[in-house]
A and B are shown apart, each in its own frame.
Chain A
Amino acid sequence: MTEALYNAEIKRLAAAADRRIAGADSVTLDTPLCGDRATIEVAIADGRIAAIGHAVKGCMLCKAAAAALAETVTGLTPEQALAVAAGFRHMIAENGPAPAPLFEHFLPVRAYRSRQACVLLPFHALETALERESPPTPPAGTAS
């Protein structure tokens, strides 16, 4: 079963070197339980994600998730990327479908509750970065 968790695609993704984008908006988050630290950088051009930077100090699963995220959301609009992140969380934590083919390699993580935070961490960072870029519009009548 552990072999499925550490499948070939997970290892390929995790082996990808960290990629940083100079000057991009950066968000770094930690998981208190295991100490993983993920930095996600977002470069947006013409209303779309032009590039994702990522750097992870953490386990293989966290590194693989960051790399998979970068491969998947580049070229999407921020709204589409947020939907992908929500779909990934739904897939991992609530047995939802994979929102992108690449994420199917992470399906075995569902069975390891203590490791779910590892793969979700880069997606939390992405969401934080995108929400910082485009804060939600307050409802009409709400005091600012």
Chain B
Amino acid sequence: MRIAAVILAAGRGERMGGGKLLAEVAGRPMVALAVEAALAAGLDPVVVVTGWQAEAVERVLPAGRVSVVRNPDFAAGMAGSLVRGVAALPADADAAMVMLADMPQVGADHLRRIAGAFTGRGIVVPVSGGRRGNPVLFARSFFAEIAGLSGDRGARSLLAAHAGEIREVATDGAVLFDVDTPLDHLRARFPALSPGRHLLDNAAMAQVPDLVLDAMRAHDCGPRANVRRGLHGPAQKADAAFDNARIAVARFLAADPAEVVFTSGCTASLNLAARALAATLAPGDEVVTSLLEHHSSLLPWLAAAAERGLIIRRIPATADGRLDLSGLPDLIGPRTRVVAVTLASNVTGAITDLPVVAAAAHAFGATVVVDAAQRVPHGPLDAAGLGADLLAFSGHKAFGPTGIGVLWGRRALLARLGPQSFGGGMAGRVDGDGFEALPPPARFEAGTPPITQAVGLAAALDWMADLDWAAIGAHEAALTARLLAGLADVAGVATIGPPDCRARLPLVSFTVAGCHPHDVAQVLAGRGVAVRAGHHCARPLADRLGLAEGTVRASLALYNDAADVDALLAALAEAVEMLR
């Protein structure tokens, strides 16, 4: 049987501001992706109906492999494009696969699956999670009826009229996902996102956009070589890629590349900072940390205190989960050497007023160490401008790969700190009696660094740096407000943290009376909603707040939408019903 493709690519894309079909996903214009999928699936011929920006759209189509039909009346609605496309099909076409050019996740496999279900008659519709999607395949017998369509009805009216002739094919959520808004376009960059998957555990692990995957694959398929030691061509390119990654991180932090140390993760960065600083401290020196710290920020100092006789002081928390800075003058004083605080709590979402903390610390010459793991995924920041002296974050929370972290430090401070790991790449002169550590950052990067991961992280941060963070911040705040309001309507739910969206991350922890957090999270997971439950590696805070069983935590990222929040709230209602 001969199955043709009719790709509807004439619309303006009003909610994208026009020209959406030329917007790139996975490095390709969306309309080109649709054409390539149709060709790869063996659909023949492939007819593309253009309209808005017709010439520009047609320029990205593979010459000689598609037929183009222009619809000058595209503004009148989708039906006109469909009519023109089907009219252009050859007489021996047995069926038409009607595709939308703004569904970038629909690939050749989806098309083959739909085509494979065609028996020579009827209509084939893909289904995911009980919902019908696109593309839809129509047998020739429907072509005459399609020719009579008008307005913006498309072919959906045929489905209602011929319900008994429809064959449904189960597939994944790609057939439900089309790009209508800038948020849709942003979501399309993340291959793991699909309708029905509500990923609200971003504080633990964010998803990775296609450009990061592409960058890492291109590096490993190309100049994969060790850095700082090779003379051959790939090694030279790898050196350049690694240097460029450091530059990208520096740009994101408004810093100097020489101030950027690559590590294996945020925990490694914070441990490096603590060990290097502790080596300069004496018994009785004081380290001020806080009740909001993640164990990765706290435990390195508890260990250092036990080893070196340091005194740990702790900034308390307010009832709504913020740092209580009212007592800073009593906590920070002449014996304070280090102040180690989080920039944003991974439990309450509260953002620390770091300039206030840093000013108090710097007044006594103390070094400010900042855990920025939760803050970095929400936009570029000025590390030095905020008052940090050392600042750590991880790649996997910032849309980058796992296995990489960053320790940023002021140049003069890094130069005063000694290496904490020893081996290749960190020393200059080496003889039988000793060695001389290289200047920062190399002195802190013994051994082979995470090169490919650095390339991926750089791609993520470069991408983030160019986003409209004012708009994203508003989007995240709106979702957080929606979540807080929804939770307030569930009997027995208590939220932990600030009651509003001021100076907070899009992250909400909560408890449900009579339900253990793990049981709640388990039921949510069964409904496609991923959250985190437990103490979130912040046990002292849980104890202070009386949260012996921990909390459920929903943490949002820039790609989440209202459907994610609504799915959580709906699943939570079911969880309460099931567990109580």
Per CB-CB distance, the 7 closest pairs between chain A and chain B, nearest first, are: A2-B526, A59-B516, A59-B518, A60-B519, A2-B523, A59-B519, A34-B518
- Report chain B residues within 8 Å CB of A6: 519, 523, 578-579
**Chain A, 90-124, contact with B by CB distance < 8 Å: what is the 0/1 string?**
00000000000000000000001001001000000
Category for how many chain A residues contact B: 10 to 19
Beyond A6-B578, A35-B535, A35-B550, whether A60 also contacts B523 by CB under 8 A is no
Taking CB atoms, residues of chain A closer than 8 Å to B516 are: 58-60
A35–B526 touching, CB < 8 Å = no
25 sample A-B contacts, Cβ–Cβ < 8 Å, listed by A number: A1-B526, A2-B522, A2-B523, A2-B526, A2-B527, A2-B578, A3-B578, A5-B522, A5-B526, A6-B519, A6-B523, A6-B579, A34-B518, A34-B533, A35-B548, A35-B550, A36-B518, A57-B549, A58-B549, A59-B516, A59-B518, A59-B519, A60-B579, A112-B522, A115-B518
Tell me the count of chain B residues lying within 8 A, CB to CB, of chain A. Answer: 16
Contact partners of A85 in chain B: CB under 8 A: none
Interface string of B143-178 (1 = CB under 8 A from A): 000000000000000000000000000000000000
Query: Which of A1, A3, A59, A61 gathers most chain B CB within 10 Å?
Result: A59
Whole-angstrom distance between the alpha carbons of A112 and B525 in the complex? 11
Q: Is B534 an interface residue (CB 8 A)?
A: yes
Contact: B519 with A35, CB < 8 Å?
no
Q: How far is the CA of A57 from the CA of B523 in the complex (A)?
A: 19
- Residues of B within 8 Å of A60, CB to CB, are 516, 519, 579
Task: With both chains docked as a complex, state the minimum distance between the C-beta of A7 and any C-beta of chain B, in angstroms.
Answer: 10
- Within A12-71, the residues touching B (CB, 8 Å) are 33-36, 57-61
Please, what's the 1-or-0 string for B276-297, where 1 marks a CB less than 8 Å from any CB in chain A?
A: 0000000000000000000000
A-contacting residues of B (Cβ < 8 Å)? 516, 518-519, 522-523, 525-527, 533-535, 548-550, 578-579
Query: Do A35 and B534 contact each other (CB < 8 Å), given the known contacts A57-B549, A59-B516?
Result: yes
A34: which B residues are within 8 A, CB to CB?
518, 533-534, 550
CA gap between A15 and B519 in the complex, in Å: 14
In the complex, which residues of chain B have a beta carbon less than 8 angstroms from the beta carbon of A118? 518
Report Cα–Cα, A96/B446, bound state, in Å: 48
Residues of A within 8 A of B549 (CB): 35, 57-58
Known: A5-B526, A35-B549, A36-B518. 7 other contacts (CB 8 A): A2-B525, A2-B578, A34-B534, A57-B548, A58-B516, A112-B522, A115-B522
- Output the least CB separation between B264 and chain A (Å): 22
Q: How far is A63 from B365 in the complex, measured between Cα atoms in Å?
A: 52
- Residues in B whose Cβ lies below 8 Å from that of A58: 516, 518, 549
A18 to B522, CA, bound (A): 23
Find chain A residues with CB under 8 A from B527 CB.
2
Q: How far is the CA of A33 from the CA of B526 in the complex (A)?
A: 20
Q: Tell me the minimal C-beta distance from B568 to chain A in angstroms.
A: 15
Contacts of B533 in A (CB 8 A): 34
Closest Cβ of chain B to A70, distance in Å, is 19
Chain B residue numbers with a CB within 8 Å of A36 are 518
CB distance from A111 to the nearest CB of B (A): 11
Most buried by B among A2, A33, A36: A2
A5 surroundings in chain B (CB, below 8 A): 522, 526
Q: Which residues of A contact B535 (CB under 8 A)?
A: 35
The CB with the most chain B CB atoms within 10 A, among A33, A34, A36, is that of A34
Enumerate chain A residues within 8 angstroms of B548, measured Cβ to Cβ. Answer: 35, 57
CA of A113 to CA of B330, assembled, Å: 48
User: Residue on A with the closest CB to B548?
Assistant: A57
In the assembly, what is the distance between CA of A57 and CA of B542, in Å? 15
Complex CA–CA separation, A41 to B526 (angstroms):
34
Residues of A within 8 A of B550 (CB): 34-35
Cα separation A91 to B523 with both chains bound (whole Å): 23
What is the CA–CA distance of A36 and B535 in the complex, to the nearest angstrom? Answer: 11
Closest to A37 in B: B548
- How far, in angstroms, from A69 to B300 measured CA to CA in the complex? 40
CB distance from B96 to the nearest CB of A (A): 39
The residue of chain B having its C-beta at the shortest distance from the C-beta of A56 within the complex is: B516
Most A CB within 10 A of own CB, among B526, B535, B548, B550:
B526
A83 to chain B: closest CB distance in Å? Answer: 29
CB distance from B448 to the nearest CB of A (A): 31
User: A2-B526, A35-B550 in contact; A61/B534 too (CB < 8 A)?
Assistant: no
Distance in Å: Cβ of A25 to nearest Cβ of chain B: 25
* A1 contact set on B, CB distance < 8 A: 526
